[in-house]
Structure 1
Amino acid sequence: MKKFCVYLLLLVIASITCTGSLFAQSSKKAKKPLVVFVTGDHEYSGEETLPLIAAALEKDYGMKTIVLKASPDHNSEENIPGLEALKDADLAVFYLRWRRLPADQLAHIDAYLKSGKPVMGFRTTTHAFHFPAGDPNEKWNAFGEFALNAPPGWGGAAGHTHYGHESSTDVHIIPAQANNPILTGVATNFHVRSWLYRVLPDYPVKGSTWLLMGKAVNPDKEAIENPVAWTGTNSFGGRVFMTTMGHPEDFQQEPFQRLVINAVHYELGLKIPKKWKGKLDIQVPYRVTK
């Protein structure tokens, strides 16, 4: 009888252990990656386009998202509430232009970057910050370079400029990258409304992988082709995806939509979805800069 009781006790312990293990595995499997979008750009309505991307990631791709916005509106350069959410983020996506955030808010971004987690950026995020010379936070003006392998701010010695607001861009996949998973389902050639940004000759930083090239259509000056999307590793060891596209009309284009969805998966270390859930209905207007 004693041996039988011991046997039953062992069975109960084994059952509890097995159940606990299965529960732990199930919980781990059920955990959704968190993508935090940080927006505030004056011009391109990133705080309107990116929530639509976020909604698709939640609805169709099993992710959790948080969208942070400049407050009280997109022209507010000194306040983006909620940046503490970056502490739990698996991916931070930035669409910023010339912000001057206070030190306590910058600290959340700094901590995220130093964690080595992945970073993704759109268009004007090359010049995300615009602190005056001598400001204690002036180093943040180079965010594009140290976070996204892009030029360190607008103009200056890097010659970061564009080819005129009346121009647009023909985009094509760089042949050597035709089989890159991020480009799964992306058309070999497509057209976007974004006027081409010049980042060459010094950017993207050495070691970056160029994915797409852009050719200016109707440029206002002599133009050369420039990379418009690239990947790499930033100065903190974090995985990077950066695109200089991002005009609201670009988000209407299915190749661009698919590129963005693919890039989010890549940044998170997830398999690129082979099956496209369908074109997103994104109708957001462009606004003239203030």
Structure 2
Amino acid sequence: MALSNDSLIGKHLVFVCGEDEYESEKTMPILAREAARKHGAKVTVLTAGPDPANPTSIAGLEALETADLAVFYIRFRQLPEEQFRYIREYLDAGKPVIGLRTSTHAFQYPEGHPLQEWNDGFGIDVLGAPWIRHFGHSSTTSVSVAWAAVEHPILRGVPTHFECRSWLYQVLPYPPEETIPLLNGATINPEDNGWSYTSDTPRVHPVAWIRTHGDGGRVFTTTMGHPEDFELEAFRRLLLNGMHWAVGAEHLIEGGSE
């Protein structure tokens, strides 16, 4: 099922990659090229330097000044203020955000740092959930549509059920009440390692949801994002649909009204 060919034409999408666990510096450019080639978007991909393990620099964040959408896949960054201010100014402008997986724990500033509040603040106040824990690296996730959202445009062309390699993140009791869950995940073969969960921890958690961040921008968050997830047509479709919705072009996703 194809998306309308003109739904992202002229939109500037900035992909911000900075984590050293899930190879976002490889998967995000693939997604960006698809958005550019199939949907006419202008794309900029930023990566941590000199390598993904370096938490202190993502060059080129000034691209956010002209961005129509920022797509974040970052983890435990400690960006200097001169770089971080572009993110803050983007959010203050009320622009839309997409956050993948580890972006719920995007920053890890030391205690007493002027930006320490963003350690949880980005996950909670922007994306809608902080880092809590997961169900073990050897587990996988069974993903199903949250039936109250079955007609949501982001889910057009996305199967009602699929399995992904991402091990499930505990999200509950987040996201907040004003959030709309789109997909739920049930952990498959969780590890009983004494850290990932306790006996009373729910085994089903939201894995994709939408909300509005404090300054008015649309937000689409998913805790999926393992490299193998990008091999799934369902996951790539979900992300591209999410981009269309985030910039207000959901009516141009196939199945919508003109």
Does the TM-score normalized on the shorter chain lie above 0.5? Answer: yes
1:170 is aligned to 142
What residue number does 1:119 align with?
A: 97
Taking a change above 3 Å as real, the CA distance of residues 163 and 272 of structure 1, as seen in their structure-2 partners, is farther
SS at match of 1:108: helix
The residue number in structure 1 matching 2:166 is 194
* Residue 273 (structure 1) aligned with residue 253 (structure 2): yes
Offset at residue 36 of structure 1 (A)? 0.3
Offset, 1:273: 2.7
Following superposition, the deviation at residue 64 of structure 1 comes to 0.6
The partner residue of 1:180 within 146, 149, 152 is 152
Residue from 43, 57, 62 that aligns with 1:84: 62
| Shift, 1:263, TM fit | 0.3
More helix per residue: 1 or 2?
1
Partner of 2:10: 32
1:70 aligns with 2:48: yes
Which secondary structure state, in structure 2, belongs to the residue aligned with residue 42 of structure 1? coil
Which letter maps to 1:51? P
Contact 1:181 1:272 in 2 (8 A): no
RMSD: 1.5
Which residue does the alignment assign to 2:186? 215
Q: Distance in 1 between matches of 2:184 and 2:252?
A: 21
Q: Which amino acid aligns with 1:217?
A: I
| Structure 1 residue 230 corresponds to structure 2 residue 209 | yes
Give the direction of change, closer, same or farther, for the CA distance of 1:30–1:128 in structure 2 (3 Å limit): closer
1:34 deviates by 0.3
**Cα distance change, pair 195–238 in 1 and its aligned pair in 2 (3 A):** same
User: After superposition, what is the alpha-carbon deviation per residue over 1:266-289, rounded to whole angstroms, capped at 9, x for unaligned?
Assistant: 0011134318xxxxxxxxxxxxxx
* Deviation of the 1:55 alpha carbon: 0.3
| Amino acid aligned to 2:184 | M
Q: Equivalents in 2 of 1:134, 1:272: separation in Å? A: 46
SS in 2 for 1:161: coil
Deviation at 1:30, TM superposition (A): 10
- Structure 1: gaps of 5 or more residues: 1-28, 155-159, 276-290
Cα drift, residue 132 of structure 1: 1.1
Question: Which of 257, 263, 274 in structure 1 is aligned with 2:236?
Answer: 257
* Contact 2:9/2:40 (<8 A) preserved: no
State the TM-score, normalizing by the size of structure 2: 0.90
Contact kept, 8 Å, 1:121 with 1:241, in 2: the verdict is yes
Aligned equivalents of 2:113, 2:237: Cα separation in 1: 40
Distance 1:180 1:30, change over 3 A: closer
Distance in 2 separating the partners of 1:181 and 1:192: 21
Structure with greater Cα Rg: 1
1:87-143 deviation line (CA, Å, top 9, x unaligned): 000000100000000011010000000000001100000000001111111011021
Unaligned 5+ segments in structure 2 are 1-6, 193-198
Per-residue deviation, 1:31: 6.4
* Count of residue pairs the alignment pairs up: 239
1:120, 1:31 → 2: CA distance?
18
- State which drifts further: 139-148 or 112-121: 139-148
Deviating 4+ runs (over 4 angstroms): none
Is the partner of 2:98 in helix, strand or coil? strand
Deviation of 1:146 after TM superposition, in Å, equals 1.5
